[in-house]
Structure 1
């Protein structure tokens, strides 16, 4: 019975970063060899990056990936490696797992099923490979087997499932591979983060190992690769339904390796679809330490932990990959801007905990002032800038809230008043139209001018600091357009655009009272957690409350999900609303809420088209460029409500 060391290598890659991606791959291959691993599986499309978008349609992209592949061969003298890249064949582009062993390219095995929902758009670029089809491709390395092959080496037979392949139920390749005979399935993947999705991937890995009664090696990409999408960096080595090793998700490292030595059933497979890989013997395989999931994975607050870690890593990656010098936030003292400020702080804290101070300096060595910084506290003050921009309509409570959080996390914080700007613009318009503006007649105008006039000043701070301005809109506000275009929507990235307001408020309370791992809390959030969400754009005497302007956020979130995730009609949404909330609100109130939602939804699609890119964190999104398309002009949906 052969004993082999199976390894899975998580990678944090960048689209089109030929040298960087290759260097990180070589580092993991060398690490695996040093650890005496026999087989190493790397993520899907890791040579190019998964998020190359329409650049996949350029032959140049696959040509550069092929160049990188060839340059990897000398690094595979004592190991078998699976690495992902795009390959053109007979006029079509395929998503391929390449098998490299003993310095040679053994085979190219293409993906059979393409992901084409949500953030995935693979059929735009790739073609699915027919199950069972085997052929050869002519390359500068000679004729290379390409197709639905199995690889045999020293009594071990391997097959491949690439990401979506494993999600196809009875049609997943594992079933056919089990009948044909394999000891191991390797699953190179680029599966985006969404709450609790890792549990599904874990389940698919366990199921795959049971199907073949052997070993299943799953490996995912890591971090914010291309802007919107976050990858967990999860990896699993499973044997006969039991997880033997797994990675720690949301690592701040460039890569992560897990290894396990397994006794596998010896096979002597042959046939047209079997390729022999002549690689060094698997003798004298050593035992490896346990690779276990982090303790927080078992937390009863898993969603809160995942949100904090995923978005913090995404912010960190976006910062360093864009070579930006920091983040700038218009800190209103409200829930959204407070959450984003806290997440930026957590990005630095978590990076520091994992990388050490030396690692932080290496990651941020492009910053001209980085050598001057001697501690995490100093770094936060240099890298994170916040500004409270008050008006006569701002309360002392929100000013105190902003100040308390800024002091708690150590930002460079400013506090200024923009009333003089509001007065100036108001005077210009009043003179132009020949009348005074009033709250009775010009409510939206007078609200929006305040929000918009906060944008130029905070943009100036971002420009001065060569920093990223972070927009502060959440998904609930985006659905009904409850945000001022070119005001609070200003920014280059919108970290919480993919999550609802209700969860943001819940997360802030958790972050204050429980915190990451039950230990890392932020007491400076106590002020914001005591406040009722308010835009504070009307006179204080009006006591403006967001949920009175709109509707209770839980109701808003329910309608949004029913309509655009479950794809229910407005009429059914109202029926559901009455059934779920009828004991707390009258049917007339619920009808008003439902009608208001669909009216505002339809009216504000143009805003969603212009929002800054947001991180994908939930199982759906309102982003029209990556998830949900809706006409900018339409006859609307509120007309279809029939109470």
Structure 2
């Protein structure tokens, strides 16, 4: 006998503690699912309050407000027989706080399911706020609902709800259960046991951030789980910037027996995206029954007696006389963004969310004519492209209101370039040390993307500061090329960089006034992850900003992104910028057209080498000696002593510059070797930079290894 049901999942752009916004998004999702005649709607992790509340989870108000908006949601599950709504919120039970799924049907809470595995690595600190639930499936307790919640639900007689890991069973035999985010990634995922218990529909409400090349792994886990065990798997993910450095990339999906039936947009600007599929429950049972290994293992599992019973979730054709099952949804072809698209579109969506929610009227960027600032400008242009595509489509009323709020009521925008002119403000801040080529490249790029661009010579600012110093100390510093010391030379370079930051903030405050517009501009930084790792930046220079879209993207990925954007957006100047050697242009250069100061020469290592160092240090957790051992195999063309010297040089500069990460601009998180001290990379900022013991061990090993090779 056939059995189909309609189920829905969604991507929601929830914002931490923005309860009114979150409620509106949830209601819109419920309305869309009900319009599709769905029987079940899954929403993202902690969807009532937003995933990124962090230490606000410790405040009782956060849970209280979740109960308040849950009471507002309850009526939406009435007048729609057997419609099951699954939302997320924090709940304190028996003195511990749990990250919970709350399932609601016909105006009643039918179950509260706490999370069992905490996400406590990288960007996550769930163990700081939540306790993992340690009991097995079916070991349920009764949770006494808060009196304020009971009183706010007119006519409700419910006083308690089951609490624990539960299986929902319908009157006609369908079994449904849930897991939460990190549980999918854990070695013993709950979906394994649930499948062996005969659960046909498993749902995962998630808050999974974007990271380069991560979507492949997420899809792989879900597809493989349902391919191996059979079943329907719904995945719901948060979308957007909900208050921190990470961007949640949506990509919600519905998978059945290893085939993807629905896949959501990865980088989208809709606050609410609902995906609905008709799933073949009998097909799941048949799939499992045809797999001998599944039959043998499931036979030893018995579903707990203590289950939560629901009415039928079966879906028929709309006509009452035609009691036939709906046609199951056909599989779709998977789509993936390339790494170049991820580098471009992820930060672009993050910037749009940040801009519209901050109340700002645009961005200010010091545009140097180099690859890093060009990358930041291109990301903002990509943001404008995405926004205008959605704006002109005309079906996103929230985005239309946001655009009007940002650019002002009277502004008329028809193209991405026009929007970019209103939003992005750039200035080339040159000195006598700057080249004509970088000035030209900055101007050409600005004209092609349409941003509001100015050029300035800041020699007068530099001379004034140096003059004040000379007056105070009666000492006048000089560049090495003019007979000065390396200390003088570095100080003169740094003052140029720092003064650009000072001017940037003044421009950000006053340019809207100059253009007779309201509001303020957010200052954008443009330091890449490799330079941050090496510390190749001036503390409090123009790497200090309000936001840094590229702070966790490598130089290699940025160059590939620029090559992609050069073709995608017909910006030939980007290819020229990529081809130009990276240079800070802070030392005198004579009359040469291209500046001869080289970033890689100054750093003493290449950007490619920095990427290798970064991945070994963070992802592979290598200290100096273990890094040396691994690099012997990665760089076989080098002698053992050359490898040791490179490792020593890296750790020396990493150590003496680590303090800069304590003040680094909040950056879009994209790369797993980000050195962000503030959240992602919990390492000291004061080191013994000599690494004397480690270096002695490396030198000994290098000598022995070299003799072994001879």
Same fold (TM over 0.5): yes
Counterpart Cα distance in 1 of 2:441 and 2:334: 33
Map 1:440-589 to 2 at 5 A.
Answer: 440=480, 441=485, 442-464=488-510, 465=512, 466-513=520-567, 515=568, 520-541=569-590, 543-550=596-603, 551-583=605-637
Within the alignment, does 1:190 sit opposite 2:229 as a pair? no
Cα deviation 1:551-598 (Å, max 9, x = unaligned):
111112212221222112212323444543353x66665444322211
What displacement does 1:61 show?
Answer: 0.3
Q: Secondary structure at the match of 2:51?
A: coil
Counterpart Cα distance in 2 of 1:357 and 1:425: 52
Match of 2:307 among 274, 282, 290: 274
Q: Secondary structure at the match of 1:389?
A: strand
Q: Could you tell which deviates more after superposition, 532-541 or 365-374?
A: 365-374
Unpaired segments of 5 or more residues in structure 2?
151-157, 286-301, 318-324, 513-519, 700-710
Map 1:73-92 to 2 at 5 A.
Answer: 73-77=74-78, 78=80, 79-92=83-96
Aligned to 1:371: 410
What displacement does 1:526 show?
Answer: 3.2
Q: 1:20 to 1:637 in 2, by over 3 A?
A: farther
Cα deviation 1:437-478 (Å, max 9, x = unaligned):
111320110000000111122111212230110111111111
Q: 1:549 to 1:591 in 2, by over 3 A?
A: farther
TM-score relative to the length of structure 1: 0.94
Counterpart Cα distance in 2 of 1:294 and 1:456: 47
Counterpart Cα distance in 2 of 1:287 and 1:317: 38
Structure 1 contact 357–375 (Cα < 8 Å) conserved: no
Q: Secondary structure at the match of 2:123?
A: coil
Within the alignment, does 1:218 sit opposite 2:235 as a pair? yes
Counterpart Cα distance in 2 of 1:590 and 1:177: 50
Unpaired segments of 5 or more residues in structure 1?
none
Within the alignment, does 1:149 sit opposite 2:166 as a pair? yes
What displacement does 1:632 show?
Answer: 2.1
Q: 1:241 to 1:280 in 2, by over 3 A?
A: closer
Q: Could you tell which deviates more after superposition, 393-402 or 567-576?
A: 567-576
Q: Secondary structure at the match of 2:353?
A: helix
Map 1:308-347 to 2 at 5 A.
Answer: 308-347=344-383
Map 1:278-317 to 2 at 5 A.
Answer: 278=311, 282-284=315-317, 286=326, 292=332, 297=336, 302-317=338-353
Counterpart Cα distance in 2 of 1:503 and 1:68: 43
Cα deviation 1:280-332 (Å, max 9, x = unaligned):
7533265587785685x2x6xx1111111111111111111112110110000
Cα deviation 1:312-356 (Å, max 9, x = unaligned):
111111111112110110000111110000000100101221342
Counterpart Cα distance in 2 of 1:501 and 1:219: 33
Aligned to 2:427: 387
Q: Could you tell which deviates more after superposition, 177-186 or 54-63?
A: 177-186
Q: 1:294 to 1:381 in 2, by over 3 A?
A: farther
**C-alpha RMSD of the superposition:** 2.1
Counterpart Cα distance in 1 of 2:42 and 2:269: 20
Counterpart Cα distance in 2 of 1:424 and 1:321: 39
Structure 2 contact 363–522 (Cα < 8 Å) conserved: yes
Within the alignment, does 1:105 sit opposite 2:118 as a pair? no
Q: 1:403 to 1:293 in 2, by over 3 A?
A: farther
What displacement does 1:119 show?
Answer: 0.4
What displacement does 1:223 show?
Answer: 1.5
Aligned to 1:23: 24
TM-score relative to the length of structure 2: 0.85
**May I ask how many residue pairs the two structures share in their alignment?**
631
Within the alignment, does 1:401 sit opposite 2:459 as a pair? no
Q: 1:626 to 1:292 in 2, by over 3 A?
A: farther
What displacement does 1:548 show?
Answer: 0.3
Cα deviation 1:57-104 (Å, max 9, x = unaligned):
111101111111121111012221111111111111111111111222
Map 1:132-281 to 2 at 5 A.
Answer: 132=136, 133-139=139-145, 140=150, 141-153=158-170, 154-169=172-187, 171-210=188-227, 212-265=229-282, 271-278=304-311
Q: Secondary structure at the match of 2:453?
A: strand
Match of 1:351 among 384, 387, 392: 387
Counterpart Cα distance in 1 of 2:629 and 2:680: 26
Q: 1:592 to 1:433 in 2, by over 3 A?
A: farther
What displacement does 1:126 show?
Answer: 0.4
Q: Could you tell which deviates more after superposition, 18-27 or 202-211?
A: 202-211
Q: Could you tell which deviates more after superposition, 624-633 or 341-350?
A: 624-633
Structure 2 contact 562–574 (Cα < 8 Å) conserved: yes
Aligned to 2:478: 438
Q: 1:293 to 1:50 in 2, by over 3 A?
A: farther
Aligned to 2:452: 412
Q: Could you tell which deviates more after superposition, 285-294 or 633-642?
A: 285-294
Aligned to 1:619: 672
Q: Could you tell which deviates more after superposition, 477-486 or 42-51?
A: 477-486
Within the alignment, does 1:124 sit opposite 2:128 as a pair? yes
Counterpart Cα distance in 2 of 1:136 and 1:129: 15
Aligned to 1:56: 57
Counterpart Cα distance in 2 of 1:569 and 1:525: 37
Q: 1:135 to 1:58 in 2, by over 3 A?
A: same
Counterpart Cα distance in 1 of 2:57 and 2:329: 39
Counterpart Cα distance in 1 of 2:5 and 2:41: 11
Counterpart Cα distance in 1 of 2:421 and 2:328: 42
What displacement does 1:211 show?
Answer: 5.1
Counterpart Cα distance in 1 of 2:691 and 2:611: 17
